[in-house]
Amino acid sequence: MRSIWKGSISFGLVSIPVKVFGATENHSVSFRQVHAADGGRIRYRKVCELDEEEVPTEEITKAFEAADGTTVPLSDEDLSALPLPTARTIEILAFVPADTVDPLQLDRSYYLGADGGGAAKPYVLLREALNRSEKVAIAKLALRGRETLAMLRVVDDALALHTMLWPDEIRPATGVAPDTEVGIRDAELDLADTLMETLGDLDPGELHDEYREAVEALVAAKLEGVEPEEARERVEAGGKVIDLMAALENSVRAAREGRGEEAGAAGGEGAAGAEGEEAEGDVRELRSGKGAGKGAGKTAAGKTAARKSTAKRGEAEEEGAGKAGKKTGGSRKSTAAKKSGSAAKDSRGRRSTSGAAKKTASAKKRDRATG
């Protein structure tokens, strides 16, 4: 890589000679402007307004326009002679936790390489100090014609520098957020959490510029004289969300299908599955508008109480059925006893009748014998 800046890091009284290298490169698609009628290239020429002649690059210099419109020419020598301590120095101001730096301030990224053999030891010293402290360094430097803030941190085994915007260059977020009061239900947050967990981790190596690939494929097809592939169905963006709960449910389902999971998986079997069914019931209730107001959406505690109440009613019904069974059994025993008693009486009656008949027959025999 070719260095774009040379200077040194000022770390207290320690000076570390470094070279600055670009850490990023732009792979975005670039287009040329052409004349639609004949395909001729459209070019922009730098023309002097006074003599209306084209001016070559080596004759162009910088100038500062004053408030009254007067331009003051400034050469590179003028700018390099400015009495700035950061003209060729990355001056470290402080060491702070990385999470205290607002990402909005980060601008461009560079690598810092040690410039010369004598810079290796102080370079490694600063790197290891940053690693052990788990902090980043905030510095100032003059780069590309302006003084800027910068953040130094460790990337792999190298020092990286991120230029930063000044605090007054960050616009406030006033008027950006919705100005109306919006209520979010717990069930909606639960579904949002589920969607976040389902999407899972991100592998940066799998990311790619689909737009650039599509443009390159289109250009290749036109060069070969073939028809380009038909565009895939676009997902309409920016529309009004009619049903937030349904959108969240569909998003979770699509994310699970994309990860090769079952669309209906509720995060486990058994008890977990039951909880998933209850959650879906809550979602259906919220979508249908039932229970709006103080009864909107049964909580888990309410469902538990309802289940306990149902269980108690079941126990009471079982207890009542048991008592009824005992009464029925008692009445059956009483009826059987009565029947048995009646049968015994009938038997005794039959026995007594039989005895009387025997006595009458004996008396008749005695009467015949006497006569």
Mean pLDDT by 10 residues, the chain (371 residues): 89 91 89 93 93 92 91 84 78 95 95 93 96 96 86 96 95 91 90 86 84 89 84 58 76 80 47 44 46 40 46 49 46 44 45 46 50 45
Q: How far apart are CA 68 and CA 121, in angstroms?
A: 52
pLDDT at 93: 95
Average pLDDT, the chain: 76
Specify which residues 92 forms β-bridges with.
Answer: 139
pLDDT at 355: 47
Q: How far apart are CA 112 and CA 89, in angstroms?
A: 13
Q: How far apart are CA 46 and CA 53, in angstroms?
A: 8
Express each pLDDT in 108-139 by its tens digit: 999 999 998 899 999 999 999 999 999 999 99
pLDDT at 55: 95
Express each pLDDT in 299-333 by its tens digit: 444 444 444 444 455 455 445 444 444 444 444 44
Q: How far apart are CA 55 and CA 45, in angstroms?
A: 8
Integer Rg of the chain from CA: 47
Rounded percentage of the chain residues whose pLDDT exceeds 70: 66
pLDDT at 201: 81
pLDDT at 42: 94
For Cα atoms 279, 281, 283, give the angle at the middle one, nearest 5 degrees: 75
Among left, alpha and beta (phi > 0; psi -120 to 50; other), residue 47 is beta
pLDDT at 333: 44
pLDDT at 280: 52
pLDDT at 63: 92
The continuous run of DSSP H or E covering 277 comes out as helix 271-288
Q: How far apart are CA 152 and CA 98, in angstroms?
A: 10
